[in-house]
């Protein structure tokens, strides 16, 4: 665990927000490439993505805080303390998708193509962010004697053999990213990449959530419920598109 990557004259560079921001920047570059190939104007795509980034981050943080309200209710000064980690991609999606509808209409960008391209940004960002979680000690796994278990610390600094949930989620994101690259250019309809990844991630996250440390993560129920709902949304979106 290495919460602080660099410390110099009282200035600290924290691992979690650093990996989060690196992931966002790299993800937007990859997504802009995918957007250009799909016929979207890359410059307008990047501008739209940058406009949606702040509400996405706010939504991700608020979803995490809401699901851990028992703690933050008595520690409200820590709600916006980014160095501790604590973002939920689901909250970012719930904020960004509805906000993107009027924005993309004004910018004359296809909703389906935009989110197909943005899927690449989400997955690239997720891989980097999970390594930030690993360095920070958050989102740690349950103690385990499995051959897959690694000797890792949790956010309290307690070292035990435990499920490497951060690495497993990064690996699942990498699998989905590979699938997105394979599907790009072959998708049967605009929005297929976004719907497919939404379905795949929801299913994967539902099971991976069970491996997280119950003593650390109190949001298992709401995360699993949201995973099911988003997986259903991806499935329904795919089904509706096929009927058109």
Give mean pLDDT, residues 106-127. 95
pLDDT grade for 215, boundaries at 50, 70 and 90: very low
pLDDT band with cut points at 50, 70 and 90 for residue 79:
low
Percent of the chain exceeding pLDDT 70 equals 84
Q: Find the mean pLDDT for residues 49-60.
A: 89
Per-residue pLDDT band for 81 (boundaries 50, 70, 90) equals low
Examine the pLDDT at 227 and tell me if it is beyond 90: no
| pLDDT for residue 111 | 94
Model confidence over 171-194: pLDDT tens digits?
A: 999 999 999 999 998 888 888 999
Helix (H) or strand (E) holding 152: strand 150-153
Domain boundaries, position 109: 4-243
Q: What is the pTM of this model?
A: 0.86
Alpha helices (H) in the chain, listed in sequence order = 15-37, 42-67, 69-72, 89-106, 111-136, 165-183, 192-209, 220-243
Our count of domains for the chain comes to: 1
Q: Can you give the pLDDT at residue 20? A: 87
């Amino acid at each position: 665990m290495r919460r602080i990557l660099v410390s110099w004259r009282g200035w600290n560079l924290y691992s979690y927000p650093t990996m989060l921001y690196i992931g966002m920047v790299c993800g937007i570059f990859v997504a802009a490439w995918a957007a250009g190939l799909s016929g979207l104007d890359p410059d307008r795509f990047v501008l739209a993505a940058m406009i949606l980034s702040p509400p996405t981050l706010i939504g991700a943080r608020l979803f995490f805080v809401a699901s851990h309200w028992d703690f933050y209710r008595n520690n409200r000064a820590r709600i916006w303390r980014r160095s501790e980690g604590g973002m939920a991609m689901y909250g970012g999606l719930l904020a960004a998708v509805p906000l993107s509808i009027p924005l993309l209409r004004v910018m004359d960008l296809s909703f389906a193509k935009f989110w197909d391209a943005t899927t690449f940004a989400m997955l690239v960002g997720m891989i980097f962010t999970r390594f930030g979680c690993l360095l920070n000690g958050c989102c740690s796994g349950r103690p385990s004697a499995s051959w897959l278990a690694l000797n890792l610390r949790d956010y309290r600094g307690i070292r035990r053999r435990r499920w490497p949930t951060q690495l497993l989620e990064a690996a699942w994101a990498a699998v989905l990213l590979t699938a997105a690259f394979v599907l790009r250019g072959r998708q049967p309809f605009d929005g297929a990449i976004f719907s497919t990844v939404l379905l795949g991630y929801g299913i994967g996250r539902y099971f991976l959530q069970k491996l997280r440390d119950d003593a650390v993560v109190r949001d298992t129920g709401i995360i699993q419920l949201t995973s099911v709902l988003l997986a259903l949304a991806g499935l329904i979106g795919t089904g509706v598109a096929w009927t058109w």
